[in-house]
Amino acid sequence: MLFFTQCFGAVLDLIHLRFQHYKAKRVFSAAGQLVCVVNPTHSLKYAPTLCAAAQTSTEQGILPPCHHHEAVHDPQLVPCVCPLFSCPWEGHLEVVVSHLRQTHHINILQGAEIVFLATDMHLPAPTDWIIMHSCLGHQFLLVLRKQEKYEGHPQFFATMMLIGTPTQADNFTYRLELNRNQRRLKWEATPRSVLECVDSVISDGDCLVLNTSLAQLFSDNGSLAIGIAITTSKVHNSEAEM
């Protein structure tokens, strides 16, 4: 009976996963888009932090230390950029992706356009949904965070970070799009570099921001599908339209 129960539970999980994929493809009907179901993870290091970064140091590829990091003495080394953990790792920017995949088990998808399907949006804050996106010869870190910026009023923050320098990030434009029930919400901006710290981007509000009511309008049975597209661009443009 125990064996049967475990097998039956696994079958139900597979059915649920397939159903989530179907819902995302129904919302985003464009052929060829890759759908990724992303489960939530409670942050193990969450604390409101601000990365006070000097523009000169970030342009040189040096990460100004967050409050939870010690100072980086070797300018060639950067701390772990994963927003979920207080990770003591540091290394060269070129091996950040390997560290995120091997140590923190963050999945990576390839393609110019994908669908990011975040499940269990009802969970209490703080909660993160994270994935890496490989496109146009570079790797990006997509972070969706549920956080109480004001007590009792959780909000959702979604941003795309380039695993590279700020100068390289200026060459791209990313678009996040929600589309459901004849409603469309789009955010388009230049990605920020991971050297600038995800916490700082969210604190500044330089990302797609949804309050709970707006998130519910676009969610489907507790899941939120976000279409992601990345293009090469020199134009600095940031907009949110509905």
Full pLDDT tens readout for the chain, 242 residues? 555 555 555 555 545 445 554 544 444 444 346 788 888 887 665 544 434 333 334 444 444 444 444 444 466 788 898 887 788 999 999 999 999 999 999 989 888 789 999 999 999 999 999 999 999 999 999 999 999 987 888 999 999 999 999 999 999 999 999 999 889 999 999 999 999 888 889 988 999 999 999 999 999 999 999 999 999 975 444 444 44
Residue labelled with tokens 């990605």: 191
Quick check: is 207 in a domain?
yes
Tell me the pLDDT tens digit for each residue of 206-235. 999 999 999 999 999 999 999 999 999 754
Question: What is the CATH number for 101?
Answer: 2.60.210.10
Find residue 79's DSSP bridge partners.
Answer: 90
Evaluate whether residue 135 is within a structural domain. yes
Is 56 inside a domain boundary?
no
With left for phi above 0 and alpha for psi between -120 and 50, is residue 32 left, alpha or beta?
left
- What is the structure's pLDDT at 150? 79
Which residue, 205, 134, 131, is CA-closest to 164?
134
Residue pair 197/66 in contact by the 8 Å Cβ criterion? yes
Is 104 part of a structural domain of the chain? yes
Does any domain span residue 53?
no
Distance CA 48, CA 45 (A): 10
Q: Count how many domains the chain has.
A: 1
What pTM was estimated for this model as a whole? 0.72
Domain that holds residue 167: 32-41+86-233
Q: Considering the domain boundaries, does residue 71 fall inside one? A: no
Whether 208 is covered by a domain: the verdict is yes
pLDDT at 216: 93
55: in domain: no
Question: How far is CA 167 from each of CA 70, 98, 163, 194, 239, rounded to the nearest angstrom?
Answer: 25, 22, 11, 12, 21
Report whether 176 contacts 208 (CB < 8 A): yes
Rounded CA-CA distance 166/164 in Å is 7
Which structure tokens are listed for 239? 């907009």
Residue 72 has, within 13 A of its CA and on its CB side, a CA count of 24
Instruction: Give residue 240's pLDDT.
Output: 47
Whether the bond into 191 is cis, omega within 30 of 0: no
Q: What is the pLDDT of residue 57?
A: 42
Q: Do the beta carbons of residue 132 and residue 106 sit within 8 Å?
A: yes
Torsion on CA atoms 31, 34, 35, 40, rounded to nearest 10? -150
